[in-house]
Amino acid sequence: MEAFKKGTACSCGGKLRPSIVLFGEMLPEPVWEQAFAAIEQSDLVVVIGTSLQVYPVNQLPSMTKGRTALINQEPTAMDHVFDLSIYSSAKESLIELEKLLDR
């Protein structure tokens, strides 16, 4: 990742790139299929810290038959697809959730 950030060229002469999907790129098909299969089987989908503005990934929470929860600093245009929306920092919310689960 550091070489990518520095703009170092690949030994083959091509551009280095991180092993992530950059903004505006499509997910590789196997990754999308894996995510979709996991969402379909999930009992609970928790989405943390996103504006949910990037299509098609923003559609994943509505594809589950399970329950859904959103943890975000502020409301999003997609809040209506969630069973629960918590407006707080991810850190604070997850610390509280851990306390509840430890009871």
pLDDT tens for residues 60-98? 999 999 999 999 999 999 999 999 999 999 999 999 989
Question: pLDDT at position 86, please?
Answer: 95
CATH of 2-102, one of 3.40.50.2300, 3.10.20.30, 3.40.190.10, 3.40.50.1220: 3.40.50.1220
Whether the per-residue pLDDT at 13 is higher than 80: the answer is no
Nearest to 15 by CA among 24, 4, 27, 6: 4
Rounded CA separation 98/103 (Å): 9
Segment 14-34, tens digit of pLDDT: 777 777 777 778 878 998 899
Question: pLDDT at position 88, please?
Answer: 95
Rounded CA separation 84/64 (Å): 14
